[in-house]
């Protein structure tokens, strides 16, 4: 694993975290209907975790000599609360997959600290995924 490829992967992850911040912020503003108070709170509560992940990634990219991206992945449009939750579920599933891959790459690169931290982020994203899944399972 070369450094340039690792930096590119971390930048892809950073774009995903920036997307998550924008997605949660946007969905918190747009959500409507009888579940608005709870869903708004749910979306807003996720932002600090995603911001923390983004800051860690940007710092690590700089430490490795790279330039952190400032461009988020595109936020998928959603008109209903269910669509919002389904989009969140897809984004969290992608984050879990991406971070597992990146942790392996960091280990191959020889950065055990990065690998360990990425595994911790997998735990965070898994919790986000599972909470969203629980909300969707009860959706009518």
Task: Tell me the pLDDT tens digit for each residue of 8-54.
Answer: 999 999 999 999 999 999 999 999 999 999 999 999 999 999 999 99
Q: Write down the pTM of the prediction.
A: 0.94
- Are 75 and 19 within 8 A, CB to CB? yes
In CATH, the number for domain 3-63+74-137 is: 1.20.1260.10
pLDDT digits (tens, 9 = 90+) for 58-106: 999 999 999 999 999 999 999 999 999 999 999 999 999 999 999 999 9
Q: Which residues contact 107 (CB under 8 A, 6 or more apart)?
A: 115
pLDDT of residue 138: 79
Q: For residue 86, give the nearest of 27, 21, 15 by alpha carbon.
A: 27
Beta-carbon-side half-sphere exposure of residue 35 (alpha carbons within 13 Å): 15
User: CB atoms < 10 A from the CB of 73, how many?
Assistant: 18
Which tokens is 29 given?
């503003």
Domains in the chain: boundaries: 3-63+74-137
97-128 per-residue burial string, b: 16 or more CB within 10 A, e: under 16: ebbeebbebbbebebeebbebbbebbebbeeb
């Amino acid at each position: 694993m070369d450094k340039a490829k690792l930096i590119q992967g971390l930048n892809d992850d950073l774009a995903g975290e920036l997307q998550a911040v924008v997605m949660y912020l946007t969905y918190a503003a747009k959500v409507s209907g009888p579940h608005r108070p709870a869903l708004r709170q749910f979306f807003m509560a996720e932002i600090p975790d995603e911001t923390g992940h983004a800051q860690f990634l940007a710092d690590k990219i700089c430490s490795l000599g790279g330039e952190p991206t400032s461009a988020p992945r595109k936020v998928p449009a959603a008109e209903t609360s269910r669509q919002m939750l389904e989009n969140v579920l897809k984004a969290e599933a992608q984050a879990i997959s991406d971070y597992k891959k990146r942790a392996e790459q960091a280990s191959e690169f020889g950065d055990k600290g990065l690998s360990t931290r990425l595994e911790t982020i997998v735990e965070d994203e898994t919790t986000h995924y599972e909470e969203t899944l629980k909300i969707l399972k009860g959706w009518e």
